[in-house]
Amino acid sequence: MVGPGSMRPAMVQRMNQDIDRVLAMPDVQEKLAQVGAEDGGGSVRRFADFMKQEQEKYAKTIKDAKIVAEG
């Protein structure tokens, strides 16, 4: 889950804690494993770093493939 960059830090922390709690549930872990989901959860910083890495990875892919938006 993501939200706007202007989200209050207290709300970010609350969402992170709630999501971590759900991701720790055995039935949720089982379902995620069944679909090959990658490791999730952790700190707000960990998620921010992951999102930054994903953005850089896909920006490079788009640039290398010369993909352009139409419209």
Task: Note the pLDDT tens digit of each residue in 15-39.
Answer: 999 999 999 999 999 999 999 997 7
What is the number of residues in the chain? 71
Residue ranges per structural domain of the chain = 9-64
- In this prediction the pTM is 0.71
CB 40 within 8 A of CB 32: yes
Q: Which helix (DSSP H) or strand (DSSP E) does residue 58 occupy?
A: helix 44-64
Q: Is the dihedral of CA 15, 12, 1, 57 positive or negative?
A: negative
Task: Note the pLDDT tens digit of each residue in 36-71.
Answer: 997 778 999 998 899 999 999 999 999 999 999 998
